[in-house]
Structure 1
């Protein structure tokens, strides 16, 4: 059995960016931009949950783009 800490700390960047594992660089970039615009904190009047989602999207893109 996995502990809750291990499960919660694991992030699937491809799932966060809503792309397949074999997605092209262009598809990853397009989905990142779409999600970043959708979840940008300025559009949601500083909602903390939205800010956290936006940060997660940025982290995922950084992680995936480092692997490309």
Structure 2
């Protein structure tokens, strides 16, 4: 499961305004027309997907519930995914 909050670089309790501002910053950063990186299009789509989920109140509530349930039911893969993401971001 992808961490939409991490994709946008916001905390889980972020306001709608903070989510929107982070989205605008990230899409500008990863827009394929402005970013020559080969993975820019993939990251751009990931940011769009994260925003679509977190900007819709009902989808965000469902995502948060699933996220909490995943952490409780099977914490090892989730923790590994989060740490891998952290390490990747730290190296980039």
Normalised-by-shorter TM-score class:
0.7 to 0.9
Q: Does 1:49 align with 2:39?
A: yes
What TM-score does the superposition give when structure 2 sets the normalisation length? 0.58
Shift of 1:44: 2.3
Q: Does 1:24 align with 2:23?
A: no
Runs of 4+ in 1 over 3 A off after TM superposition: none
RMSD (Å) for aligned C-alpha atoms = 1.4
Structure 1 equivalent of residue 53 of structure 2: 63
Unmatched 5+ stretches in structure 1: 1-9
What TM-score does the superposition give when structure 1 sets the normalisation length? 0.77
Structure 2 equivalent of residue 6 of structure 1: none
Unmatched 5+ stretches in structure 2: 62-92
Instruction: Name which structure has the greater RCO, CA cutoff 8 Å, separation 6+.
Output: 1
Structure 2 equivalent of residue 35 of structure 1: 26
Q: How many residues align?
A: 58
Q: 1:4-62: per-residue Cα shift (whole Å, max 9, x none)? A: xxxxxx111011010001111100000000000011000124x4410000000000000
- Judging by fraction of residues, say which structure has more helix: 2
